[in-house]
Structure 1
Amino acid sequence: MDSRPIRKSKSERHVRMPRNVLIVDELATNRIVLKVKLSGARYGVIQAASLSEARKCLDRDPPDLVLASADLTGANTAQIVQALRGTARTRDIPVVLLLAHDNAEARLDALRAGASDVLTKPVDDRFFLARLRSLLRQHHTSQALNLHSGTAHALGFAEPPASFQVTGRIAIVAHPAAAAMKLRADLMHRIQHDMTLLTFDAPEVASDLAPPPDVVVLRIATADCERGLRLIADLKADTATQNSRILVLLPPETIPLASTVLDMGAHDILCGATETGELALRLQNQIRRKHQEDSQRAKLKTGLQAAVTDSLTGLYNRRYALPYMTRTIAESAGSGRPLAVMVADLDHFKKINDRLGHAAGDEVLRRVAGLLRDTLRDDDLVARIGGEEFLIVLPDTPRERAKQVAGRLCKTVRDTPIALTGQKAPAHVTLSIGVSPVHLPTHDPLPDAETLIAQADRALYGAKAGGRDTVSFCATRPAA
């Protein structure tokens, strides 16, 4: 039997993306200790002995995270963060500062300057690595959203950013109720956000958070350990709260939970006695990041919607319609139910543009699109696939019903006068429709979407030749 180790293929060896950390510390012994910890956890490590050397490393190849001493020569904590975050390429990289001694003012200065976290040495190894994992998860999520929303922006789909700060929503969950009330009272003097109080005694706590909060502040005391961990899992699993930020407060007796809480998805954590000023600052940072991510998701949604929507009429476009048709054809064949494909075209539309102008033509197209959409069922598809040409797909529709629907569409357009801006008299337009009925036995080859559209288009020529404002059926069998 061959006892040689199995060699992984090149693709298998490179599936796992490297996670590179830049260590910035003037003392070589500190850098070595950190490198041993990080290398053991399979991080790539880059070292810099000064802030100027660190900036050169950042310019050359930005890492995934920066771990810097807060005691660098010639700079305070705020200046260190500003130097490390000073360029467009590095402004979003997580920066963690390590303090040699606990200093409340230094912690606040670093957080105000944009540090992702400030840790005081010595740091428990499990907590340290869990905190890095948490920050990297958040960073990679933000990178992915930036990539997609940036594409939407480049294509012109993004909305301009809001010029005002939206009030945040904070849910404070603690037991007993007096603990939650004290937290809110302390915070009210420092931040201006809506705060809701909940206790672990409330049934179905996660589902009570409506509208979804931007941040859930969760205080886990000894008696609440199991319920607290379950609530974090519920918040991450619930679609309403899965994007909410979670900030966990751990009193001294529950600090051993810290690494577990972070690995379960908490975004930030405060261990030990809670200093209200630091909590307020961390909450402000979490709300800001939540709103940034919400904006990125909105841009992505807007971009995706714009990519499949006709900007003039609001109907779907060909890019959406073709894959939709492919799925519908397969479903129709699988169920044995008929469907109908129609191509509708406005009659003499060029005359409207020539006589009344293109603005009037656009108004007509928008109004006709609305008439078609309002006349059809919710499950039917109507898309604009050309200048004045529309594609209509009717699932579960036999030939006779397709004829009735097409006739009703023609009548609706014919009988609806269209008011035009700047014109005293309304416009009257008519519609010609070509229909390709489809009924496929499950064993027959499936026709493609373009074939059915072409058949309906040929039928449309028949409707035009027959005098317009009428319906014509395809003379050939589908997929023939």
Structure 2
Amino acid sequence: MAVTANILVLSDEPTDKIQNCFEDENVALTKSAILDFDSLKDDIADFDLVLIQSGSNNLQGKADLLEGIANAEIPLLIVGDNPKASDIQSVPDNFCDLELRTRALSMIRLQTMKQEYDRRQNTTSLYGFMEKDFSEPSPEEAQNAILLVGNQNAIVGDVMLQLSRVAKVRLCPNADLVADELRAGNYDAVIILGAGQGDVNFRLCLDIRGDSRLYNLPVIFVLENENNREAAYIHGASDIVIHPGEMSSLFARSKLLIDQSQLRFSLQKLLKTSRPLPVTDGLTGLYSHGFVHAHMKHMIADHSSRSKHLTVASVEIANLTEINEEYGYPAGDQVLRQVGNILSLLMRGEDFCGRFNSNSFLIALPGTARRDAFIALSRVYGVTRNTEYTIAAIARPVEATIKIGLTEMLDDEDLAIVLKRAQAEGYSE
């Protein structure tokens, strides 16, 4: 049975609360005693996340355990006391379900992005693109910037102190000015101090999540009132930190989200750098039909070997033939280009998109069940269907009929058959 993620839970105590937290997330939990970790070392690569419940255990004295997991390059999350709060992710013993679930899934998502980056680099190399031709973005090249919202001087100073190693931080005391500044696209994350008077900062977070240009932007709350912890997540927070008790973990939590942003940037740069090769579709700038088939072969094999979910979506311009006949082929090309731009803007960082044939695109969502893919593609669905497609030399907008369908891949399925099933199932829960 396919799963969203495989999680190893190391604990010498009952883990009912952890198990209940992931009950509806379709993840596979494997529990083991902390001291039994050595017997699992050979299989550690099969997991997407290692979760340690520290409890009464003194992890300070278990440096070999932490180092062994770090060397395996598997994300590590500690529940309870964390001896390396500035380097290792953690949640407190009294975590709320949303907190643990959000943090764990964010770490798993980063791992999925890393796997997709490696996979995409390997596929690109089949076209003669060597590793020496591409380098990771330098810190100067990536934005690596955070907008800090609030005016509590003492907390501002603490935040600045914690984040000086990871990003350039700009202060914006007025929440009313934040949305316009973020839309300029100059920030990797936003940190909000407190709920704000009348919960104005919570409403700001909802506005960010409702904006298609900002939907993916990480939002971290620094809260003085622990009772607001769950409310922040409900309003769309990516993460929260309690001041002053959890400030030592702010660096690690911010870095996790900025790493996601920079990996997204790396994937975009890989596509742009490889454009001289026959890997992209000249009209839309997305990956070409041939690259789609070559890459999906590897993606399907990887997910099948790990029993992971892989959802595939079809985005079709159903009336492209009619547009070509009425307005000419240049008009159809302009519609195709505009739809391609929307897809490249609204996809998640880990998702793969390319032109599949004359009037349709493919989107592959790795490690994503159909239910979650439906949510992830909701912006694509709404924007593509409600956009007025403008054509040069034509006064009125052209109406494009956009049909989206999605389905989960089965083992060893033919890609064309999967897309036909996606089109038949349509975009519905």
TM-score under structure 1 normalisation?
Answer: 0.50
Aligned to 2:222: 249
Q: Using a 3 Å threshold, how does the CA distance of structure 1 residues 147 and 66 change in structure 2: closer, same or farther?
A: closer
Q: Using a 3 Å threshold, how does the CA distance of structure 1 residues 17 and 82 change in structure 2: closer, same or farther?
A: same
Aligned to 1:97: 78
Which of 67, 77, 99 is the aligned partner of 1:82? 67
Contact 2:10 2:32 in 1 (8 A): yes
Distance 1:324 1:83 in 2: 47
Which deviates more, 236-245 or 158-167?
Answer: 158-167
Distance 1:191 1:40 in 2: 37
Aligned to 1:56: 40
Distance 1:170 1:66 in 2: 28
Aligned to 1:202: 176
Aligned to 1:279: 250
Question: Could you say what secondary structure the match of 2:71 adopts?
Answer: coil
Aligned to 1:173: 149
Which of 287, 307, 321 is the aligned partner of 2:279? 307
Amino acid at match of 1:53: F
Question: Could you say what secondary structure the match of 1:85 adopts?
Answer: helix
Amino acid at match of 2:8: L
Aligned-residue RMSD, C-alpha: 4.4
Aligned to 1:330: 322
Amino acid at match of 1:271: I
Distance 1:141 1:83 in 2: 22
Amino acid at match of 1:257: N
Q: Using a 3 Å threshold, how does the CA distance of structure 1 residues 319 and 45 change in structure 2: closer, same or farther?
A: closer
Q: Using a 3 Å threshold, how does the CA distance of structure 1 residues 18 and 79 change in structure 2: closer, same or farther?
A: same
Distance 1:192 1:53 in 2: 32
Map of 1:50-449 to 2, 5 A cutoff?
Answer: 50-53=34-37, 56=40, 59=43, 62-70=46-54, 76=61, 78-87=63-72, 91-93=73-75, 95-99=76-80, 106-107=82-83, 109-112=84-87, 115=88, 117-121=89-93, 123-124=94-95, 127=96, 129-154=97-122, 155-156=124-125, 160-162=134-136, 164-166=138-140, 168-174=144-150, 176=151, 178=153, 181-183=156-158, 186-187=161-162, 190-191=164-165, 193-203=167-177, 205-209=178-182, 210-221=184-195, 223-225=197-199, 227-252=200-225, 255-273=226-244, 277-299=248-270, 306-309=278-281, 328-333=320-325, 335=326, 337=327
Shift of 1:145: 3.3
TM-score under structure 2 normalisation?
Answer: 0.55
Which deviates more, 260-269 or 53-62?
Answer: 53-62
Shift of 1:38: 4.7
Which deviates more, 301-310 or 159-168?
Answer: 301-310
Amino acid at match of 1:251: E
Distance 1:288 1:338 in 2: 44
Contact 2:7 2:29 in 1 (8 A): yes
- Count of aligned residue pairs for this structure pair: 299
Question: Could you say what secondary structure the match of 1:307 adopts?
Answer: coil
CA radius of gyration, larger in: 1
Shift of 1:262: 2.9
Amino acid at match of 1:160: F
After superposition, give the CA deviation of every residue in 1:290-332 in whole Å (9 maximum; x if it has no partner): 323321343356668952357xxx9x98979xx9999754323
**Sequence identity percentage:** 16
Shift of 1:246: 1.9
Shift of 1:149: 3.2
After superposition, give the CA deviation of every residue in 1:22-49 in whole Å (9 maximum; x if it has no partner): 2212x3xx13544663575565432211
Q: Using a 3 Å threshold, how does the CA distance of structure 1 residues 160 and 339 change in structure 2: closer, same or farther?
A: closer
After superposition, give the CA deviation of every residue in 1:57-89 in whole Å (9 maximum; x if it has no partner): 7716733432213465786365433222332xx
Distance 1:38 1:324 in 2: 37
Distance 1:59 1:51 in 2: 16
Q: Using a 3 Å threshold, how does the CA distance of structure 1 residues 111 and 77 change in structure 2: closer, same or farther?
A: farther
Contact 1:20 1:45 in 2 (8 A): yes
Question: Could you say what secondary structure the match of 1:165 adopts?
Answer: coil
Amino acid at match of 2:20: K
Contact 1:21 1:44 in 2 (8 A): yes
Q: Using a 3 Å threshold, how does the CA distance of structure 1 residues 267 and 35 change in structure 2: closer, same or farther?
A: closer
Distance 2:236 2:118 in 1: 26
Contact 1:24 1:54 in 2 (8 A): no
Distance 2:253 2:289 in 1: 47
Quick one: higher RCO (CA 8 Å, sep 6+), 1 or 2?
2
Distance 2:92 2:289 in 1: 58
Aligned to 1:437: none
Contact 1:215 1:286 in 2 (8 A): yes
Aligned to 1:24: 10
Gaps of 5+ in 2: 292-314, 338-429
Distance 1:161 1:277 in 2: 32
Amino acid at match of 1:98: V
Amino acid at match of 2:279: A
Question: Could you say what secondary structure the match of 1:299 adopts?
Answer: helix
Contact 2:110 2:259 in 1 (8 A): no
Contact 1:249 1:270 in 2 (8 A): yes
Distance 1:138 1:215 in 2: 14
Gaps of 5+ in 1: 1-13, 341-376, 382-480
